[in-house]
């Protein structure tokens, strides 16, 4: 063995060179070898998202003051109306909506609401004239259209725009006429009253309580890939109220969890199907203009001791 080769071997075997190579391999990132994303508990992920919202809020205020000072924008003299970002949660469920019984759809009653002001119209369909008069006299708000067959005819004739309707509720006595006349208008937009979503009641007397809950109820539905993405509330609600809303959403999903579930992979293997498999494969939390934070699935599982409810006690 030559002397030069021995020196090279000694250098390679030295501790400094080994540490340098290990560090270089560990921090090597590319499209094919991305650096793994950090996983946070849901309460810390929410804290990180709210901190990002506050930083962007202060940055927008400073930019506005600078632009007003430089006279680059026309100001009405009032205070700056900053954006109140929505906090969203994305859940990858271990369900295949193409299979019967695995297409989750429903409505959850959030304890604190989303904080979002509804700009659309709530359409109420019922044939009971006494209930119609009672709802019109009660303080249900000015963005509510109440009626029976005449309201359906207005919708079909175009006097009431379908695009302006945000939610539609009905009693059981009107569902036949409504589906026959306006089913093709409301169905593709997801506005058709349904018992699963909670927008179809058995008797007209229950419509009064249903209208009061519409502001705090949040409909959900899985897409073709088994994903659910919902806004759980505005950032101005604060950490505690957002955690309560998320707690109500997760408990609702697990209560309606199908008995048999599981996604089928491309190679024909199932990813944890059955009762004992994972129901939530992955979860992310983000704000409107911020990046997403990956959540530890154990902290969004009500059956786990690390569930987020432990931080609310």
Q: Work out the mean pLDDT of the chain and round it to a whole number.
A: 80
Instruction: Sheet containing 293-295: give its strands across.
Output: 39-40, 293-295, 280-286, 86-93, 227-234
The two structure tokens encoding residue 92: 């990858």
Alpha carbons 98 and 114: distance in angstroms, whole number? 30
Residue 225, pLDDT > 70, answer yes
Task: Name the band, by pLDDT with cuts 50, 70 and 90, for residue 127.
Answer: confident
Each residue of 201-240: b (16+ CB within 10 Å) or e? beebeebeebbeebeebbbbebeeebebebbbbbbebeee
Task: Name the band, by pLDDT with cuts 50, 70 and 90, for residue 240.
Answer: very high
CA distances in angstroms from 10 to 7, 63, 304, listed in the order given:
5, 58, 52
178-212 pLDDT, tens digit per residue, is 888 888 888 888 888 888 888 888 777 777 777 77
Asked if 87 contacts 289 with a C-beta cutoff of 8 angstroms, the reply is no
With H, G, I as helix, E, B as strand and everything else as coil, classify residue 166.
strand
33-54 pLDDT, tens digit per residue, is 666 778 888 999 999 999 999 9
Contacts of 302 (CB under 8 A, 6+ apart): 250, 251, 254, 309
Residue 276 confidence (pLDDT): 53
Nearest to 224 by CA among 106, 107, 108, 92: 92
């Amino acid at each position: 063995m030559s002397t030069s080769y021995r020196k090279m071997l000694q250098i390679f075997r030295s501790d400094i060179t080994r540490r340098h190579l290990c560090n270089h391999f560990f921090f090597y990132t590319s499209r094919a070898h991305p650096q793994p994303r950090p996983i946070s508990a849901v309460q810390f992920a929410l804290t990180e998202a709210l901190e990002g919202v506050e930083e962007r809020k202060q940055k927008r205020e400073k930019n506005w003051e600078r632009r007003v000072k430089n006279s680059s924008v026309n100001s009405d003299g009032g205070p700056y109306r900053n954006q109140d970002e929505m906090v969203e949660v994305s859940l990858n469920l271990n369900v295949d909506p193409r299979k019967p019984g695995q297409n989750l759809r429903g409505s959850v009653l959030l304890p604190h609401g989303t904080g979002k002001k509804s700009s659309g119209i709530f359409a109420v369909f019922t044939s009971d004239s006494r209930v119609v008069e009672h709802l019109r006299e009660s303080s249900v708000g000015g963005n509510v259209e109440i009626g029976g067959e005449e309201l359906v005819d207005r919708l079909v004739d175009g006097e009431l725009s379908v695009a302006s309707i945000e939610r539609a509720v009905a009693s059981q006595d009107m569902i036949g006429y409504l589906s026959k006349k306006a089913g093709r208008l409301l169905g593709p937009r997801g506005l058709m009253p349904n018992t699963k979503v909670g927008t179809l009641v058995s008797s007209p007397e229950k419509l009064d309580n249903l209208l009061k809950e519409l502001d705090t109820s949040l409909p959900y539905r899985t897409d073709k890939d088994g994903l659910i993405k919902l806004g759980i509330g505005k950032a101005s609600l604060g950490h505690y109220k957002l955690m309560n809303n998320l707690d109500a959403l997760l408990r609702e999903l697990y209560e309606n969890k199908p008995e048999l579930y599981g996604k089928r992979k491309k190679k024909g293997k199932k990813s944890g199907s059955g009762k004992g498999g994972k129901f939530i494969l992955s979860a992310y939390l983000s704000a409107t203009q911020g990046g997403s934070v990956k959540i530890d699935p154990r902290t969004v599982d009500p059956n786990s001791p690390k569930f987020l409810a432990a931080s609310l006690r």
